[in-house]
Amino acid sequence: MGDKTGYVDDHGQGAIGGYHHAYKSWGRTRGPKNIAGPPGTALTLETNTNNMKPGAAGYKTVGYATENQRYLHVLFTDLNGDAPAATTVFGYCHAFERWFQIGESNTQGQGDNTARTAVSVTAVDSGNATADQVPSDTEYRMYEIQGIDRIAVVGVAAETAVFAACSTF
């Protein structure tokens, strides 16, 4: 019978109807859900935007699905104790079949029909190795991403770890 009886996975979902059931819906999520996989999984950063050009092989599947959530939660961490390079967050919309820079959610000080500043974040230069960093050595941001089907982060993987999650509320 294997895992069909009494099995509970890491997320606390148990057996339903005698079989293991994992929710894979595109529905609402109250708490942020890691888009890279299990909790604690960092994103794989893109090294440049060449594979996001229309017509490039696989350009529609670069990055991570947002599952039509409303908010993107992002944590940027310095990996090597040196001053990290900036990382940029991009979005993809199936209706346009194009990638674009996601704009900051805060519109204060901007007039009508004025473009928002593109999301480009540099993690705090902690001066410490990852194991010696404290919570204040990270940068956390939240962005409104309604209508964005995928996100990708371009940066230097050896310098910055980026964690991302999406939520509806």
User: What pLDDT is recorded for position 13?
Assistant: 47
57-99 pLDDT, tens digit per residue, is: 999 999 999 988 999 999 998 887 677 888 999 999 999 999 9
Q: Examine the pLDDT at 103 and tell me if it is beyond 70.
A: yes
Task: State what percent of residues in the chain have pLDDT above 90.
Answer: 46
Taking the CB of residue 45, how many other CB atoms lie within 10 A of it?
Answer: 19
d(CA 90, CA 84): 19
**Who wins on pLDDT, 6 or 129?**
129
| pLDDT band of 32, cuts 50, 70, 90 | very high
Range of the domain at 11: 1-25
- Give me the number of domains the chain comprises: 2
Helix (H, G, I), strand (E, B) or coil at 134: coil
Amino acid identity, residue 134?
V
Same domain, 17 and 38: no
Same domain, 89 and 106: yes
Q: What counts of helices (H) and strands (E) characterise the chain?
A: 0, 11
Same domain, 39 and 96: yes
User: What pLDDT is recorded for position 148?
Assistant: 94
User: What pLDDT is recorded for position 27?
Assistant: 58
Same domain, 151 and 113: yes
User: What pLDDT is recorded for position 109?
Assistant: 55
39-54 pLDDT, tens digit per residue, is: 999 999 999 999 999 9
Same domain, 14 and 40: no
| Residue written as token pair 């959610």 | 105
The dihedral sign for the CA sequence 61, 140, 73, 12: positive
What does pLDDT average to over the chain?
A: 81
Burial class (CB in 10 A: 0-12, 13-18, 19+), 111: exposed
Q: Examine the pLDDT at 26 and tell me if it is beyond 70.
A: no
User: What pLDDT is recorded for position 1?
Assistant: 40
Q: Which residues pair with 98 in a beta bridge?
A: 93
User: What pLDDT is recorded for position 114?
Assistant: 62
∠ Cα 100 56 123 (to 5°)? 45
Same domain, 116 and 130: yes
Q: Examine the pLDDT at 150 and tell me if it is beyond 80.
A: yes
Tokens representing 99 are: 């990638």
User: What pLDDT is recorded for position 42?
Assistant: 94
Same domain, 129 and 162: yes
Same domain, 4 and 43: no
